[in-house]
Amino acid sequence: MVIAKAGMDGHDRGAKVVARVLRDAGFEVIYTGLYQTPESIVATALQEDADAVGISVLSAAHKHVFSETAREMRQQGLDDVILFGGGIIPPGDVEWLEQQGVRRLFLPGTSGPEIVAWLQQAVSAQRASGSGG
């Protein structure tokens, strides 16, 4: 039984490792490869009817990528899709990003099981409150 799908931008091995950890936990993970734009990430999430979108950003563009993705998701009506992410993000930016609509950011050093547990919980809560889908 599927719990979630995540479109993932992998600028690194990190995204692939997380994708594999989620697969092994029973998630169906759509891996999109490198160099995704906010528009392409959201188009993928829409077509795949994803429960969650995870983005890994290692560059300094993290603020732009996350906030634009969140904005594009709202515009496409994907308000109920969980946006989360990881990468090298200055701790000082986390609060701002969460205000933009990123539900959770995992900083380097987070363990796989921690991500899995959080996502399972977040997805089932979202489904319980969801729009009948």
From 31-39, 94-102, 103-111, 118-126, span contacting other proteins (CB under 8 A)? 31-39
The tokens describing 46, both together, are: 């829409």
User: What's the closest the beta carbon of residue 11 comes to other proteins, in angstroms?
Assistant: 13
Strand order of the β-sheet with 82-87 is: 7-9, 52-57, 82-87, 104-106
From 29-37, 56-64, 85-93, 101-109, span contacting other proteins (CB under 8 A)? 29-37
User: What's the closest the beta carbon of residue 59 comes to other proteins, in angstroms?
Assistant: 18
Interface with other proteins, residue 31, by CB under 8 A: yes
Residue 98 to residues 10, 20, 23, 70: CA-CA distances in angstroms?
21, 25, 26, 10
Residue 27 to residues 33, 100, 124: CA-CA distances in angstroms?
18, 26, 12
- Residues binding other proteins (CB under 8 A): 1-2, 5, 19-20, 22-33, 35-37, 39-40, 43-44, 46-49, 76-78, 132-133
